[in-house]
Homo-oligomer: A and B are copies of this chain.
Amino acid sequence: MSYICNDKLVISGAAGAIGSNMVQAALTMGLTPNVCMYDPFEKGLQGAAEEIYHCAFPGARVTWTTDIAEALAGASYLISSGGAPRKEGMTREDLLKGNAEIAAQLGKDIKAHCPDLKFGVIIFNPADITGLTTLVHSGLAPSCIGTLAALDSTRLQTALAQHFGVAQNEVTGCRTYGGHGEMMAVFAGTTKVAGTPLTDLIGTDKLTPQQWDDIRAHVCQGGKKIIQLRGRSSFQSPSHQSLLMVKAVMDGKGYEWPSGIYVNDPDNGFNHIMMAMDTTLDKTGLTGKMPTGSDPDIAALRESYQHLCKLRDEVIEMGVLPPLSEWATTNPNLA
């Protein structure tokens, strides 16, 4: 069995459903034999590690630790699904504050223990905010931290394939941008169904305005359908797509979906935010540009941005992120 590289990959939250799936999938993909499983929940972590040992991946050197300093030491790659889930009685703000604090600590830990991290993917919710908070506190360059945004686009692809009764890969160019939440911008202009532009289909008998609205609403509700059907949040697709992001940086062979990226683009009116843009992942990490789209698409993107700014400002208000004027001091790479 051959691996793409020998660099240390840290899976944070490795005792959980997403994280433990990720360790198995990372080794199955042959990313690196050098995987470190981190989680504060020791018992579950050890159990997840035993499972991986019993898989007996040839040449794998999988370690596990509840010590974040040991986990991050020498790490080149990191995926963190290690947020707290929403519990009964928690408000949306409680969840936002709790996970933003976890992200801030993760950023500080990266700064202290693995300042040479090549690439990290933050996937715990709200990912646009936790990714941004991690980046600010980590001191890393914006090319080194991204968030998982692909699932909105793959859900759009799935829904359109089901609606039109075509194979999933006949639906191409699906793109959602902006926030990874109900305020995301579902772009219509880039998608083709079996070669026909989606914009030529919307409003016809083949896809009535109501049907298109329903599909967009379904996509914006994210994993809600999975929860209804499986009785649990999605964990396989987040695991798989996060690993493909890391793989793209390891092997330089590209990644086909949008990622969440730090954006500071005053010319286009997007400042100090993390959100899905038209991105590229390669050996230099993550780069992005303003997506092209119709006027309604771009208007939806601006609305999504405004929503994210409000969340970001709440986190600044909570004291978990510094005021915008201090970001360049906390992280000179954001200057």
Binding site for B on A (CB under 8 A): 20-21, 24-25, 28-29, 43-44, 46-48, 50-56, 58-61, 150-151, 154-155, 157-158, 161, 167-169, 225-226, 228-231, 234-237, 240-241, 257
B55 touches A154 (CB 8 A): yes
B236 touches A55 (CB 8 A): yes
* Binding site secondary structure of chain A: helix
- Residues on the B chain within 8 Å of A158, using CB: 50, 53-54, 56
- Residues on the B chain within 8 Å of A24, using CB: 21, 25, 236, 240
Partner of A234, one of B21, B44, B51, B59: B51
Nearest chain B residue, comparing its CB with the CB of A15: B230
Q: How far is the CB of A144 from chain B (nearest CB, A)?
A: 25
Partner of A47, one of B53, B54, B60, B230: B230
- Residues on the B chain within 8 Å of A226, using CB: 47, 50-51, 54
- Residues on the B chain within 8 Å of A59, using CB: 169
B241 touches A55 (CB 8 A): yes
Given A24-B25, A24-B240, A28-B240, the answer on whether A229 and B50 have CB atoms closer than 8 Å is yes
Nearest chain B residue, comparing its CB with the CB of A53: B158
Given A25-B28, A236-B24, the answer on whether A47 and B154 have CB atoms closer than 8 Å is no
A55 and B158 alpha carbons, distance in the complex (Å): 10
- Residues on the B chain within 8 Å of A48, using CB: 230
Nearest chain B residue, comparing its CB with the CB of A162: B53
Given A29-B28, A55-B237, A168-B60, the answer on whether A229 and B43 have CB atoms closer than 8 Å is yes
A20 and B235 alpha carbons, distance in the complex (Å): 11
- Residues on the B chain within 8 Å of A58, using CB: 169
- Residues on the B chain within 8 Å of A225, using CB: 47, 50
A54 touches B167 (CB 8 A): no
- Residues on the B chain within 8 Å of A21, using CB: 21, 24, 236
A146 and B167 alpha carbons, distance in the complex (Å): 33
Given A52-B236, A53-B158, A56-B157, the answer on whether A44 and B229 have CB atoms closer than 8 Å is yes
Further 16 A-B residue pairs, CB within 8 A, beyond A46-B229, A53-B168: A21-B24, A24-B236, A28-B240, A51-B230, A51-B237, A52-B237, A53-B154, A54-B155, A54-B226, A55-B241, A56-B150, A56-B154, A56-B168, A56-B257, A58-B169, A60-B168
